[in-house]
Amino acid sequence: MAKFSKKTKTSENIPTSALPDIIFMLLFFFMVTTVLREQEILVEQKIPQATQLQKLQKKTLISYIYIGKPKNTGLYGSEPRVQANDALLTPADIVQWVNQERDMLPEADRNMITISMKIDRDVKMGPISDVQTELREADARRVLYASVGKVQKD
Amino acid sequence: MARKKNRMSQEVNAGSMADIAFLLLIFFLVTTTIASDKGILNVLPPKLDPNNPPPEIDKNERNIFTILINANDQLLVEGEYAEADGLDEKIKLFVLNFGQPNEEAQGLYNSLPASLKAMSRRDPESSDHPGEAVVSIKTNRGTSYDRYLEVFDLAKKAYFEIYAERVNLRTEEYRALTGKDEAEQSLIDRGKEGIPMAISIAEPDKIGS
């Protein structure tokens, strides 16, 4: 028993003087990576996984479209809906929306507009294909199926 | 004169700095959404002009690798019920079949690294050469997006693996190329040369949805 107490006593305090530095480092990381969400997402978003992800170089060319079941089913029903900017659209409004988005880009880049489709994994292909038909109509043919990385099994 | 002043301590009390930083940290932790602009790129076909219907394309059936996905998320690959695993290998074998290569395709074949040459089976029932080969994915309106993306992902994977193999990179490295300078662009072009990524997404059908 006495053996334990015989141990030489080293200082029991953990030096915390470097703590603020560590915290500041974390803080700066989050400050730099953060994007304050400018719009509220009204539809469910469980982004599917995929392996062959590519990154786009020019982020200014991307416009986002969200498709999924509305979160507020009482107000918007339970069928998948399309959200762009801050409001839910009907497929017929998409052409107009794309044209608005395109007008915001510099002239040289207008034909390079890319639509990032953030689609909930439970949506069926029917509504997606309707949206794609509208995008073809609006001549915004570059589409990015947003997805998150999957751990690859070899 | 100045020396005489009695300074209590010359240090600013920094003990609460950590608390302030913690507070800010928690604020940013909560509000942050790490921007993810990653995804699978697809280029949709141009819109249909009613006055100018698209030319009838006579492609031999053997040059089209058909994948059908029904409303129950089941796959029909080249007329046979199949599972999603191994689909990328099948697509690679199909693209690199070289059943009836023309002169140009023969040159392409000779330029391929040995590991890709080995995939050529010269099966007359499969694609003539990579320039002709088309992978067609057809879904149903009731197919889940998850399944569609999985299959599309595998088709992309097959092509990226071929491209990466040609320029001696790993697949991830090839995919990460963005073409921001000439060296990268030339790598991308060398990988793709003669083997277009022909993945066709057919209009979904309505039956059974």
B85-124 per-position pLDDT tens digit: 888 888 888 888 888 878 888 888 888 888 888 888 788 7
pLDDT(A6) > 60:
no
pLDDT(A93) > 70:
yes
In a 3-state reduction of DSSP, which class is residue B75?
strand
Residue of A50, A123, A54, A112 lying closest to A83 (CA atoms): A123
CB within 8 Å of B156: residues ≥ 6 apart: A52, B40, B197, B199
**At residue A130, what is the residue type?**
D
Mean pLDDT by 10 residues, chain B (209 residues): 59 76 83 74 79 70 86 86 85 84 82 81 81 86 88 88 86 80 84 83 69
CB neighbours (10 Å) of residue B50? 6
Cβ proximity of A116 and A62 under 8 Å: yes
Higher pLDDT, A140 or B59: A140
What is the per-residue pLDDT for B163?
87
What is the per-residue pLDDT for B115?
81
Considering the domain boundaries, does residue B86 fall inside one? yes
Considering the domain boundaries, does residue B15 fall inside one? no
What is the per-residue pLDDT for B36?
65
Considering the domain boundaries, does residue B27 fall inside one? no
Which pair of structure tokens corresponds to residue B11?
């240090």
Considering the domain boundaries, does residue A109 fall inside one? yes
Judged by a CB distance cut-off of 8 A, whether residue B24 touches chain A is yes
**Domain of residue A105, CATH code:** 3.30.420.270
What is the per-residue pLDDT for B209?
44
Q: How far, in Å, CA of B101 to CA of A13, rounded?
A: 76
Alpha-helical runs (H) found in chain B: 17-31, 87-95, 103-111, 114-117, 145-166, 171-176, 182-192
**How many beta-carbon contacts under 8 Å exist across A and B?**
157
Q: How far, in Å, CA of A42 to CA of A84, rounded?
A: 10
Considering the domain boundaries, does residue B190 fall inside one? yes
Considering the domain boundaries, does residue B195 fall inside one? yes
Q: How far is CA B55 from CA A87, B52, B59, in A?
A: 39, 9, 12
Q: Which residues of A touch B177 (CB under 8 A)?
A: none
What is the per-residue pLDDT for B174?
84
- Give the Cα-Cα-Cα angle A76, A81, A82 (nearest 5 degrees): 130
The pTM (predicted TM-score) of the whole model is: 0.77
Higher pLDDT, A57 or B95: B95
Considering the domain boundaries, does residue B1 fall inside one? no
Q: Do A132 and B28 touch (CB under 8 A)?
A: no
Domain count, chain B: 1
Q: How far is CA B107 from CA A129, B43, B113, B121, in A?
A: 39, 29, 12, 17
Considering the domain boundaries, does residue B184 fall inside one? yes
**ipTM value > 0.85:** no
Considering the domain boundaries, does residue A62 fall inside one? yes
Q: Which residues of B touch A33 (CB under 8 A)?
A: 32, 34-35
Mean local confidence (pLDDT), A84-113: 86
Judged by a CB distance cut-off of 8 A, whether residue B25 touches chain A is yes
Which of A39, A53, A122 to probe by mutation at the B interface, max B CB count within 10 Å?
A53
Q: How confident is the model at residue A5 (pLDDT cuts 50, 70, 90)?
A: low
Considering the domain boundaries, does residue A143 fall inside one? yes
Q: How far, in Å, CA of B124 to CA of B106, rounded?
A: 15
Domain region containing A145: 49-149
What is the least distance, in Å, from the CA of A113 to any CA of chain B?
Answer: 11
Domain region containing B199: 61-204
Classify A70 in phi/psi space as left (phi over 0), alpha (psi -120 to 50) or beta. beta
Which pair of structure tokens corresponds to residue A81?
């809906």
Domain count, chain A: 1
Strands A81-84 and A87-89: antiparallel
CB within 8 Å of A143: residues ≥ 6 apart: A114, A115, A116, A117, A132, A135, B41, B42, B43, B44
Residue of B152, B157, B156, B160 lying closest to B188 (CA atoms): B160
What is the per-residue pLDDT for A121?
86
Considering the domain boundaries, does residue A29 fall inside one? no
Considering the domain boundaries, does residue B151 fall inside one? yes
Mean local confidence (pLDDT), A50-62: 81
Strand ranges in chain A using DSSP code E only, listed in sequence order = 49-50, 54-55, 62-68, 81-84, 87-89, 114-119, 142-146, 148-149
What is the per-residue pLDDT for B54?
66
Mean local confidence (pLDDT), A12-31: 81
